[in-house]
Structure 1
């Protein structure tokens, strides 16, 4: 089975590539903006494509021609101040991938959506896949994920015979994503070990975060491919993570703080370029519902093998040790390397991609 994976160098893409290579029955084409240095020597076959550019359409058709399935994982999280660029990758890139799949006759499309696509929760009860998917307006990530799903709706309505699946996981963690998460979330001058040196954690009480391990997400994708499954599937460990759990994993004390105060601090420091996380992420954390993943269990035979607290602990340990992978996205983060990037290209939250 020939599978083309966009975003293959990222958190989920690395886990999926590992899983498919271990199976040994897949011909994998891995698409990324920056391919690994070892790409010429190792499997899978890597292809460099920048999905933010309209000029990539011909490349996509070449790569997807003859593929049995396209797995679309590519998404951009930084620079958080360059919302037009994030939209060009997330929404524009999704449209370009879907257009190329349609024009080349790819019979199966698997799209990585998110818990962020859902409208705000009403209570603590987990939601199923029929919950409204209008997103959280103050989060650009959420808006773009919702817009990408509308593109999938159009594909389903216009195509004949294409199997379209959309996966809606919670926050996805694994140890090797530690450096990438540090790069996206930590001020440049703070070393990785500062993750475990937070004296108190001021966070709102209403924050709940669905989480799932990258390996469990990869397993769900494989099951979708094998079964040619269609429709939406929530993917999350049963118990969502709370502010208290985050504080416990960090070894610090949680101080319950009104969301509006935390947001004001996040907004001020983000606008001042002191930290790279936009305040919309807090809005999403407070609004996103818990996930009922029973449909994935019934139809895919899938269940998470790692609970949410263990995913959280592993991810935080990965961040505190600056754990890394072999791709550019997952490369090791150090203060020295971040300072070099800051001086040459500016802060990650404003940095234009090369």
Structure 2
């Protein structure tokens, strides 16, 4: 099977390349920054393409059996292309290219973030409205993606479209990327090895996670079956603040979300912290999802539970894990290296308002 993957150097893209090795697969990766041919990136062919300003070349998609669209600016730095240019414009360019090239299969990475909030402990199915969370640009972007895919499926029924709606996706190799999103450059990785370090979280937080390898397996199954439509992806169990603290070896310090949001916004504005408070809003308001369809229709079963996922990710943060791609590069070791990449005084990452 000949597959073209956008965002192939990212968290899920890297896991997918690891999985689709072997003579049965021919993978072409599209990326803004082409990685060196090492590790997972060695088996793919590569095409440099910045979807924020350019469409995938028609000749790359011609004769492809499927396109897997994973490119998405999740928490871009201030120096990166604007989120809307990559996410909205880039997706439209990919969809137009799929039609021009006559590609019969599209697998698109959406998110549970597209769903509207639900009662805190209710599990929602794929029929729950995809109106998004008002206070999160990431969520609103995924909701717009769903509307775009609705219109695409209606106008081009000859293209079979699968929408993956995973919860938070982690793996050890993504620790560098996500660490740059979550941790202030002033915080060394060694702090995470301190016994019982304080971890401020609100009591009502509940978190679903899934391993990047398990999301990649769902993509593989979608490519090999007739399945189309949306499908939720999440592992068990749901984690609470005390669970997170235990798995990180930390001490849970209860703190109201409004207080954490106010402090986070102040630190984000001056560039001391990369995390925008919109992410806290999303973590609080995103619903829990039911994965019956994935298991019964797609035949998907996660190989990693949420405790394994978080433990591996925490180990990656402490060990500065990463890959050869710029997207998943290890977090810089020295504080001055980290500060040089994100000079304080202005936001280091784009707003999620």
TM-score > 0.5, shorter chain as reference: yes
C-alpha displacement of 1:145: 0.7
Higher helix share: 1
2:271–2:343 Cα contact (<8 Å) kept: no
Match of residue 13 from structure 1: 13
Match of residue 204 from structure 1: 202
1:212–1:311 Cα contact (<8 Å) kept: yes
Q: Please report the TM-score for the alignment, with normalisation by the length of structure 1.
A: 0.92
How far apart, in 2, do the equivalents of 1:131 and 1:143 lie?
A: 15
2:205–2:241 Cα contact (<8 Å) kept: yes
1:271 and 2:269 matched: yes
How far apart, in 1, do the equivalents of 2:208 and 2:313 lie?
A: 14
1:191–1:334 Cα contact (<8 Å) kept: no
Pick closer, same or farther for the CA change 1:33–1:282 going to 2, 3 Å: same
Moved over 4 A (4+): 80-84
After superposition, residues 1-354 of structure 1 pair within 5 angstroms as: 1-21=1-21, 23-38=22-37, 42-53=42-53, 56-57=54-55, 59-79=56-76, 85-197=82-194, 199-336=197-334, 337-342=337-342, 348-349=348-349
Find the residue that maps to 2:328 and give its secondary structure.
coil
How far apart, in 1, do the equivalents of 2:239 and 2:311 lie?
A: 11
2:271–2:348 Cα contact (<8 Å) kept: no
Find the residue that maps to 1:313 and give its secondary structure.
helix
Unmatched segments (≥5 aa) in structure 2 = none
1:72–1:110 Cα contact (<8 Å) kept: yes
C-alpha displacement of 1:32: 0.7
Q: Please report the TM-score for the alignment, with normalisation by the length of structure 2.
A: 0.92
Give the superposed CA RMSD. Answer: 2.1
Q: What CA deviation, in whole Å up to 9, does each residue of 1:224-273 have, x standing for no partner?
A: 00003100000001322222211111212112222111111111111121
Q: What CA deviation, in whole Å up to 9, does each residue of 1:75-132 have, x standing for no partner?
A: 1133356898112111211111111101111100000011111111213021111111
How far apart, in 1, do the equivalents of 2:275 and 2:221 lie?
A: 34
1:204–1:259 Cα contact (<8 Å) kept: yes
1:173–1:213 Cα contact (<8 Å) kept: yes
Find the residue that maps to 1:200 and give its secondary structure.
strand
